Structure 1
C-alpha cells in the first residue's frame, strides 16, 4: 500500500491493478494486437536513474485506470532491441501510447501508435496525458469523506441516498431514508477528459489538491461534493436530467425541503472572462451561501454573474432549457450561432 504524503491521510491499495511486464518484443506485440483497450508502454533500462524514479509512479498510474479501459505495461528496452528499433527508442525512460488492437485487420503494432509522451515524468502530468488522449478519466483515491467520484452503481446509489425527498421526487426516485445530514447540500461537478487545460488542472488533478478537494475541505461535513464524468454512457441518465451539454458544469442542490431549495447551475466557459481564473473564488462563495442557506446571496450572485443561474426546481430548469433551445432555433440571425455553440459544447462533452 502507498500512503500519500499530502497531509490528507489517504491510503490507496495498489494491488487492485498492476502494470504488466513483457519479457520480449513478440510478447508485447501479441498483446497490442489482441487487446481491446488502450496500452501505455513504459520502456525502461536496468540501471537507469530516471527509470528508477519513474518505476513507483508507473505502478500508481496502473492503479488509477481500470484495466478494461487502459492497461499499462513495461518492457526493458536494451533487452528488447527489436521494439526499440521499430519505435526509434534511443533514450530512457520512454512512454508510448497505443490504440486498442483490431484482430483480423492485418495491422502492425506501428499502426496502433497514438503518440509518444514528451511531458514531465511526473505522476499527475502523465495521468492527464493518458486521460486526454483516451477519454478515460483516472479514478483518484478519495481524498476526503465528502469529496466523491461517481464510479459505479454502488456510488450512484450512495449519491441518491444523500438526496432528500424533494430531489428524489424530482429525479423520479423512490423515497427512502437519507444517509446524509439533514441540510447538507449536494454539489455535482460534471467534467470531461477533453476540457481545456485550465479546467483539467482545476478539476481533474488529485482530489487532495484540486479545486473540488479544496472546496470539500472548506465545506467540511456540511457539503457532499461529487465528480461526474459526463462522457460515460452509464451516467447518461443523470447528464440528461440536468441538461448537461458541455463541461465543466456545476450544480448545487440545497437540501432544504422548503420552496427556497432551488437548484444553482454554474457554467464555467473558457471564453467567460468574468469568471476566468476566478472559478475557485466564485464556487467558494456559492458553497458558503448554500451551506448557510443564504438564498438572498445565491440570488444576488446569479444577477452579478451571467454564468450563474438559480432555478426554482429541476423541472423549472428543464423547462427554461427547452425554451432557450426553441428560441435559438426560431431566431433567424443569432439563432444559428447559438445552435452551433450548443452543438460544439455537446461534442466536447461526448
Structure 2
C-alpha cells in the first residue's frame, strides 16, 4: 500500500439530474448531491462519506471559487448554506438553502431547472488518503470542509442533482417529470392522469423507464408502447389502454392541456363575467327608466337629449336634483311650428320664455346634434 498522504483539494464532487426540487418560495434547492463516490480528478471518496456527514452540515455555499489557497472571497460570493445532509446510496445529499435576494438566485434556479447538467458542486476540503496499486487516490477521511461552491464544471455530465434512487432505474414518473415544460407543456397534466392508472396493481408512474440509444421522442414512444403491451398482457380495461395512448398523444402534441382545476376556474370566470355584464345592463336599463320618468315629471319629452346626460347619474334623486337646479322650469314642452324646434319654459318670476333647440342644448350642458 502506498504511503498515507494529507491534501488540501478544491475539486468537483457533486452532480445532478432534474429540477423538481427547486423551491423558489422557500429559497431551497432540495437534495443536491454534495459529494459523490468519485471526484472529477478521479479520487475515490466512497470510504470517507459516512464520517463526513457532519462536516458538510451548515457549510457555506459560494458562487464559484478560485484555486489559490487562502484567497479572500467577495461578499457577493456567499450564496447559501447546506442543511439536512445525509448519505443515500453511495453519495452525500443535502438541501441548499440560498439567499432569495442574491442577485444570481433566479439564474441559479432557472439553470437548475432547465440545464442541471451544466453545473455542479465543488468542495474546498482537507483529505487523508493514499494512492493504490491501480494509481487511484483512495480518500480514507475528509478532515475539514471550508466551503462548497457552485461551479461550471460538475463532477459528471449529469449536473447539480443526482437520482435519490442510486443504483436503481429511473421510473416512468421521474423521467416524465424531468421533461422540459417548455418543450412538453402537457407534462404536468399527463403526470396527473397517469397518477390515477395502474397495471396489474402497480402504479404506472413507478414502473421502470427503459433507456436506450434513442432521441427523447423515440424513447417516449418506446416506453409508452411497453406500457400498452403490459396493460394488454395484464388484461386491463380498454379505458386504461386508451388513457395511456391519449397521454402519449398529449405529450407529443406540444400543446398545453388544462388541468381539471384550470378548466373549473375558467368556467367560473366565464360565469362571473356573464353575471357582471347582466348586472351592468340591468343597471343601465334602470337608470334609463329613471331618466325618462324624471323628464316626464318635469314636463319634458322623455326622448329629450337630456335623457342621455341623466343616465350618467347613479340615482333617481340625483337626476331630480339636476333638473330642479337648472333654470329649465317645471313645464318645459315642445311647441310645434317652424323649421327649428322651440321650447317654452317659465322663468322664476313667472314670465314665459322661448328658447331655440341650440339654446336648450347649451342650457343642458350638452353639445348640439
Smaller-chain TM-score range? under 0.3
Q: Specify which structure has the higher proportion of helix.
A: 1
- TM-score for the superposition, normalised by structure 2: 0.27
Which one has the largest radius of gyration? 2
